[in-house]
């Protein structure tokens, strides 16, 4: 079991790319990993390709489906010389289907990415839609018709300052980010739309939000175990969490727990501290 590899932006990653000629299944390069093709050598046979990290963090690796269970290591990677892998590549070709590489890092600056769910604050209304502040470098646009059951005559009427839970439908570094509050295929809201009442926590680290969005989130489980009142929580990948409980007192406790989890991690949410909050 090797120790997790920490990489910095610009580091070349030691993974061998499947050659174009073999029938190898594509490997997935996730967030923070960039495939760089050197255009000068393309077409001359010797392809100058490298895989480079563009974020700082721990390198995450998930082996392909063909690899035996014992050999799979999630969250760690073995640094092997590219040469050693080349011979085994052909046999491994099929085994590498579903192989994934990504960078796990933490930070507070959100970069919009396609498909992510974010919490936005409406900052302006236009005829065609809304301008939404999603805590990134520029505002995003939300079409007035991108809601469940919205027609030209029946558009939702959201005021400036309203909170919305939306999905990023277009994210490109040269274009304005676009959001939608509906699943375009089914036409259903699926939880997106206006968030009423409650309280918004901003400026949380992106790592905490990713933790909360996992199918089984350790922090959310701990909160359910420690807090004995029902609550509602919506997490945006842009560092914002909306919380709501029946009483103001309870909402405040929940907000403080999340702030503490952000500052001190799961360990900060111990029973003694939570009970000291006086709920």
Partner 1 sequence: MPREADVNLSSKAFVTSALAQGLRVDGRSPLELRELAISFGRELGNVTIRLGKTTVLAHTSISLAAPSPERPYEGTLAVHTELSPMASPFHDQIGRASDEEVLLTRMVDKAIRRSGAVDREALCIVAGEKVWALTLTLHFLTDDGNLLDAAVLASILSLKHFRRPDVTVVGSEVTVHTEDERVPVPLAIHYTPICITFAFFESIPQPILDPTHLETQLATSFLNLALTPQRELLVVSKTGGSPLEGDEVMCCVGWAVERVREVNERIEKALKEDLQKRVLEVR
Contact residues for partner 1, defined by CB under 8 A: 121, 123, 133, 159-163, 195-200, 242, 248-249, 251-253, 255-256, 277
Please return the burial class of 276, using the count of CB atoms within 10 Å of its CB with bins 0-12, 13-18 and 19+.
exposed
DSSP character string of the chain:
-PPPPEE-TTPBP--PPPPSSS-PPPPEE-TTEEEEEETTTTTSSS-EEEEEE-S-EEEEEE--TTS-GGG--SS------HHHHHHHHHHHHHHTTT-EEEEE---S-----TT-EEEEEEEEE-SSEEEEE-SSSS-EEEETT-STT--SSS---PPTT-EEEEEEEE--TTS-EEEESS-TTT---TT-EEE-SSEEE-S--HHHHHHHTSSS-HHHHHHHHH--S-EEEEEETTTEEEEEESSHHHHHHHHHHHHHHHHH-GGG--HHHHHHT--
Q: For partner 1, which is the closer residue by CB, 34 or 259? A: 259
Closest distance of CB 244 from partner 1, Å: 8
Q: For partner 1, which is the closer residue by CB, 168 or 241? A: 241
Q: For partner 1, which is the closer residue by CB, 238 or 251? A: 251
Closest distance of CB 163 from partner 1, Å: 5
Q: For partner 1, which is the closer residue by CB, 16 or 177? A: 177
Closest distance of CB 140 from partner 1, Å: 14
Closest distance of CB 242 from partner 1, Å: 7
Closest distance of CB 252 from partner 1, Å: 6
Closest distance of CB 253 from partner 1, Å: 8
Q: For partner 1, which is the closer residue by CB, 52 or 277? A: 277
For residue 213, the SS3 value is coil
Q: For partner 1, which is the closer residue by CB, 78 or 247? A: 247
Please return the burial class of 99, using the count of CB atoms within 10 Å of its CB with bins 0-12, 13-18 and 19+.
buried
Q: For partner 1, which is the closer residue by CB, 144 or 259? A: 259
Closest distance of CB 248 from partner 1, Å: 4
């Amino acid at each position: 079991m090797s120790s997790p590899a920490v990489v910095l932006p610009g580091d070349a990653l030691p993974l061998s790319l499947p050659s174009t000629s073999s029938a190898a299944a594509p490997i997935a390069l996730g967030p923070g990993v960039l495939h760089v093709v050197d255009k000068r050598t393309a077409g001359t046979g010797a392809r100058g390709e490298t895989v480079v990290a563009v974020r700082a963090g721990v390198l995450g690796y998930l082996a392909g489906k063909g690899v035996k269970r014992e050999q799979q290591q999630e969250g760690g990677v073995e640094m092997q010389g590219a040469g050693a892998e080349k011979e085994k590549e052909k046999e491994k070709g099929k085994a590498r289907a579903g192989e994934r590489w990504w960078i796990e890092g933490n930070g507070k600056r959100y970069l919009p990415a396609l498909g992510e769910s974010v919490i936005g604050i409406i900052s302006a209304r236009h005829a065609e839609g809304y301008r939404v502040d999603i805590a990134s470098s520029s505002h995003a646009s939300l079409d007035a018709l991108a809601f469940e059951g919205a027609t030209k005559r029946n558009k939702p009427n959201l005021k400036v300052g309203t909170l919305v839970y939306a999905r990023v439908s277009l994210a490109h570094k040269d274009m304005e980010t676009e959001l939608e509050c509906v699943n375009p295929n089914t036409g259903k809201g699926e939880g997106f739309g206006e968030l009423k009442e409650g309280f918004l926590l901003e400026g949380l680290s992106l790592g905490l939000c990713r933790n909360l969005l996992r199918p089984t989130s350790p922090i959310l489980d701990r909160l359910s175990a420690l807090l004995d009142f029902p609550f509602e929580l919506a997490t945006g990948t842009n560092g914002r969490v909306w919380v709501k409980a029946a009483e103001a007192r309870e909402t405040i406790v929940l907000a403080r727990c999340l702030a503490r989890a952000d500052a001190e991690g799961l360990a900060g949410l111990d029973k003694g501290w939570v009970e000291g909050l006086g709920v």
